């Protein structure tokens, strides 16, 4: 009995274990996420969501088990979710997982996700931001179809499935990274980007997406890496050049191209999709030729599909017609190339310039003795003009002919004639000039005194020409009075001459003569002067000073010291108009030097000093930008100042003129600052 019991218990345990292994996955719920344990694993997949959150983060772990999948239709039709952040444990998002989530605006897909299932985010009409982190993430069929709010997308994925972004009507910016290996048919049809493309070869990133043009010869640009599925299918191309460096040719890429009978495939191609080359509606095309290198992927693919191969390792080139890439003009060379239909070898040649096609010469100026010959012609092709100038050689003159002989006082005249054009030129012959008689009766210049001069009367003299007998008269200056002693009648001043009187020692006549005005000078730099005790200083209400000088003191004896230096200028007739009130009171920026006049019993102006204020470098009475420029030029050693100008320009009183002084003067002139 005991043995039977043990065998029965063992059988029961075996049945229980088998039942456990074959039991369906366990389903449960956590924080609104419905999930199930994946059979034979310690992981779970999200199967649904009952929560009400707008921002959803797929958890890394539920009840100690890693979340590795989002099941088919798990969130499909949810109208609440606005944002989804997928955890870094998830490796798969299965088909229709988030389809028709009408409020979903953004989704972040981490690098752990290796596949996005078919229609996973289809018809999410509010989706504007999609972040795909990994190049290893494959995008399934229809994955984002109908996401009409999506405007831009960056795709690193290795594979983009059939119609993956079709009818994303707002999608206008597509950035495919170099990691994209294949692009499915209709992947971007119906997008704003697709609708904006001109007819011809459509490329996105480094992918040849499709060909919508009518040209039969197509050259794929250098740098392209991939030809998308069906890219050239059902087109009339007859010659397609694939550049070295392209590595992927998608499914049915050249399917049903009835005019295409050959294709050169470069050695860089490492993958060719099903029926990509040499297949038509009824299957493989007879006599289709693939030109490729021995040992290449294209050679293996062609052999496996029973398509004829011609090796291009030692190609005997068969060139197409010349294609002009740069047309020549009259002076510049052009450029053209032809390409081998077997190996794509390109042979380039330059095209010689056409040369100008000149019109006839147009004459603007005929050649003459006085004018140059000027002509011009124009190229009838490019309009360039060419000038021709021949310089005139000038008149060819005959010898001079005397028309009128000159005499002592009258000029003569002579002419000569151009032997080419007949022009006559007239020229004066200078008068000969008198030849004065010089002998024992004359002085060295031929003069004979006819009337002797005296002290106060002039004499006379004459001379005669020995050629024409003409005469010339002249005065002999009066001898002038001479005196040994003088009597001063009027003393000179610095403004008026004096008068002196004497008796002529020759004729005994009494006469007068002028005494020169007194010479007075002020130093160039008045800052070096000091004030003598006997000088009088007066100040007006603006503290403008005025110096009065008594009658027995000369300007030379006066030494000044004044706070602001200035330029020294001469007094003029308008000086008295600048005085107001008493004769010694000055207005404005003038320092008036006066001397008392005994005759008029008034102060006479004898000189004045124009006072230059700080900042007024040029002394015009205003502080302007011109003063700032002068100060700046002096600070840069472009202008030399005397001590007076330097003191006026040194507004910060630091003993030197610098750019800082120029800036301050400019600010004062702009009324931004005051001195």
**Above 60 in pLDDT, residue 545?**
no
**Above 60 in pLDDT, residue 539?**
no
Q: What value, to the nearest 5°, has the Cα angle with vertex 329 and ends 325 and 332?
A: 85
Q: How many Cα atoms within 13 Å fall on the side-chain side of residue 160?
A: 34
**Above 90 in pLDDT, residue 606?**
no
> How many Å apart are CA 199 and CA 508, to the nearest integer?
126
pLDDT at 479: 87
The token pair that represents 597 in the structure block: 């006049």
Choose between 585 and 641: higher pLDDT: 641
In the structure, what pLDDT confidence band is assigned to residue 570 with cuts at 50, 70 and 90? very low
pLDDT in tens, 501-512: 999 988 888 889
The residue whose two tokens read 């040369």 is 355
Nearest CA to 73 out of 99, 53, 55, 91 is that of 99
Nearest CA to 564 out of 629, 636, 621 is that of 621
Q: What is the mean pLDDT of residues 396-417?
A: 93
**Above 80 in pLDDT, residue 610?**
no
Q: What is the mean pLDDT of residues 415-422?
A: 93
pLDDT at 258: 94
pLDDT in tens, 276-319: 999 999 999 999 999 999 999 999 999 999 999 989 877 777 78
Other CB atoms within a 10 A radius of the CB of residue 529 amount to 14
Q: Say what angle helices 625-635 and 659-669 make with each other, to 10 degrees.
A: 180
Long-range interactions of 60-68: CB distance < 8 A, separation 24+: 60/87, 60/88, 60/89, 61/89, 62/30, 62/33, 62/35, 63/28, 63/30, 65/37, 66/42, 67/35, 67/43, 68/38, 68/43, 68/44, 68/92
pLDDT at 644: 61
In the structure, what pLDDT confidence band is assigned to residue 492 with cuts at 50, 70 and 90? confident
The CA–CA distances, whole Å, from 239 to 56, 266, 309, 320, 337 equal 53, 15, 17, 10, 15
**Above 90 in pLDDT, residue 150?**
yes
The verdict on domain 526-669 having CATH code 1.20.1180.10 is: no
Long-range interactions of 296-303: CB distance < 8 A, separation 24+: 296/265, 296/267, 296/269, 297/269, 297/270, 297/271, 297/272, 298/265, 298/267, 298/269, 298/272, 301/272, 301/277, 302/277, 302/278
Q: How many Cα atoms within 13 Å fall on the side-chain side of residue 287?
A: 4
pLDDT at 413: 94
| Distant-in-sequence, close-in-space partners of 182: CB < 8 Å, separation ≥ 6 | 158, 159, 160, 226, 228, 229, 248, 250, 271, 273
Looking at mean pLDDT, say which of 51-55, 496-500, 626-630, 661-665 comes out highest. 51-55
Q: What value does the mean pLDDT of the chain take?
A: 82
Q: Is the distance from CB of 659 to CB of 652 less than 8 angstroms?
A: no
**Above 70 in pLDDT, residue 121?**
yes
Q: What is the mean pLDDT of residues 344-369?
A: 89
Q: What is the mean pLDDT of residues 6-31?
A: 49
pLDDT at 639: 83
Least confident of 318-322, 412-416, 466-470, 540-544: 540-544
Element (H, E) at 181: none
**Above 60 in pLDDT, residue 271?**
yes
**Above 70 in pLDDT, residue 528?**
no
pLDDT above 70 covers what percent of the chain? 80
The residue whose two tokens read 């983009």 is 160
In the structure, what pLDDT confidence band is assigned to residue 357 with cuts at 50, 70 and 90? very high
In the structure, what pLDDT confidence band is assigned to residue 551 with cuts at 50, 70 and 90? very low
pLDDT at 318: 79
The token pair that represents 632 in the structure block: 């700046």
The residue whose two tokens read 């989706």 is 127
- Domain ranges across the chain: 24-196, 526-669
Choose between 40 and 329: higher pLDDT: 329
Please give the model's pTM, rounded to 2 decimal places.
0.51
pLDDT at 536: 44
> How many Å apart are CA 531 and CA 562, to the nearest integer?
9
The residue whose two tokens read 């490329």 is 203
Other CB atoms within a 10 A radius of the CB of residue 613 amount to 15
pLDDT in tens, 200-218: 999 999 999 999 999 999 9
**Above 90 in pLDDT, residue 162?**
yes
Choose the CATH number for 24-196 among 3.40.50.300, 3.80.10.10, 3.30.40.10, 3.30.2350.10.
Answer: 3.80.10.10
**Above 60 in pLDDT, residue 170?**
yes
Q: What is the mean pLDDT of residues 350-377?
A: 91
- Max Cα separation, the chain? 195
The residue whose two tokens read 């009766």 is 441
């Amino acid at each position: 009995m005991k043995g039977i019991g043990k065998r029965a218990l063992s059988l029961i345990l075996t049945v229980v274990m088998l039942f456990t292994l074959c039991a369906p996955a366990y389903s449960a719920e956590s924080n609104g996420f419905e999930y199930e344990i994946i059979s034979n694993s310690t992981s779970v997949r999200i199967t649904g969501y009952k929560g009400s959150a707008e921002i959803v983060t797929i958890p890394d772990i539920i009840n100690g088990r890693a979340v590795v999948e989002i099941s088919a239709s798990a969130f499909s039709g949810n109208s609440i979710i606005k944002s989804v952040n997928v955890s870094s444990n998830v490796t798969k998002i299965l088909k229709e997982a988030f389809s028709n989530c009408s409020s979903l605006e953004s989704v972040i897909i981490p690098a752990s996700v290796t596949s996005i299932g078919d229609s996973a985010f289809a018809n999410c009409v509010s989706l504007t931001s999609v972040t795909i982190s990994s190049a290893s993430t494959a995008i399934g069929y229809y994955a984002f179809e109908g996401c009409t709010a999506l405007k831009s997308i960056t795709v690193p994925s290795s594979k983009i499935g059939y119609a993956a972004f079709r009818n994303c009507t707002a999608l206008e910016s597509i950035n495919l990274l170099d990691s994209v290996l294949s692009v499915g048919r209709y992947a971007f049809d119906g997008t704003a980007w697709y609708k904006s493309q001109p007819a011809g070869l459509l490329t996105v990133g480094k992918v040849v997406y499709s060909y919508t043009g009518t040209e039969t010869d197509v050259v794929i640009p250098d740098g392209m890496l991939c030809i998308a599925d069906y890219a050239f299918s059902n087109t009339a191309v007859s010659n397609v050049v694939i550049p070295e460096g392209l590595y992927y040719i998608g499914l049915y890429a050249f399917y049903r191209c009835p005019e295409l009978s050959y294709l050169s495939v470069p050695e860089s191609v490492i993958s060719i999709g099903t029926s990509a080359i040499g297949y038509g509606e009824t299957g493989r095309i007879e006599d289709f030729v693939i030109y490729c290198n021995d040992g290449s992927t294209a050679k293996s693919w062609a052999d496996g599909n029973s398509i004829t191969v011609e090796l291009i390792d030692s190609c005997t080139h068969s060139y197409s017609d010349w294609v002009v890439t740069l047309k020549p003009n009259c002076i510049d060379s052009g450029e053209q190339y032809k390409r081998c239909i077997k190996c794509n070898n390109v042979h380039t040649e330059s095209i010689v310039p056409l040369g100008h096609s000149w019109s006839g010469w147009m004459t603007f100026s005929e050649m003459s003795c006085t004018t140059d010959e000027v002509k011009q012609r124009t190229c009838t092709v490019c309009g360039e003009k060419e000038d021709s100038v021949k310089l005139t050689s000038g008149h060819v003159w005959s010898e001079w002919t005397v028309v009128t002989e000159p005499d002592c006082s009258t000029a003569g005249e002579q002419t000569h004639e151009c032997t080419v054009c007949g022009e006559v030129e007239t020229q004066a012959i200078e008068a000969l000039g008198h030849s004065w008689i010089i002998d024992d009766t004359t002085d060295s210049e031929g003069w004979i005194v006819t009337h002797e001069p005296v002290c106060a009367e002039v004499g006379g003299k004459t001379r005669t020409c020995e050629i024409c007998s003409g005469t010339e008269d002249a005065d002999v200056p009066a001898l002038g009075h001479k005196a040994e002693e003088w009597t001063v009648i009027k003393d000179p001043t610095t403004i008026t001459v004096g008068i002196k009187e004497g008796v002529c020692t020759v004729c005994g006549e009494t006469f007068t003569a002028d005494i020169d005005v007194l010479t007075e000078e002020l130093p160039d730099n008045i800052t070096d002067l000091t004030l003598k005790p006997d000088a009088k200083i007066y100040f007006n209400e603006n503290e403008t000073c005025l110096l009065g000088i008594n009658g027995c003191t000369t300007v030379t004896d006066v030494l000044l010291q004044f706070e602001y230096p200035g330029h020294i200028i001469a007094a003029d007739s308008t000086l008295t108009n600048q005085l107001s009130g008493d004769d010694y009171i000055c207005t404005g920026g003038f320092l008036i030097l006066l001397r008392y006049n005994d005759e008029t019993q008034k102060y006479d102006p004898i000189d004045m000093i124009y006072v230059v204020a700080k900042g007024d470098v040029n002394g015009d009475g205003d502080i302007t930008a011109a003063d700032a420029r002068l100060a700046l030029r002096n600070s840069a050693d472009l202008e030399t100042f005397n001590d007076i100008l330097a003191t006026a320009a040194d507004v910060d009183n630091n003993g030197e003129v610098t750019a800082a002084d120029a800036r301050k003067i400019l600010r004062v002139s702009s009324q931004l600052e005051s001195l």
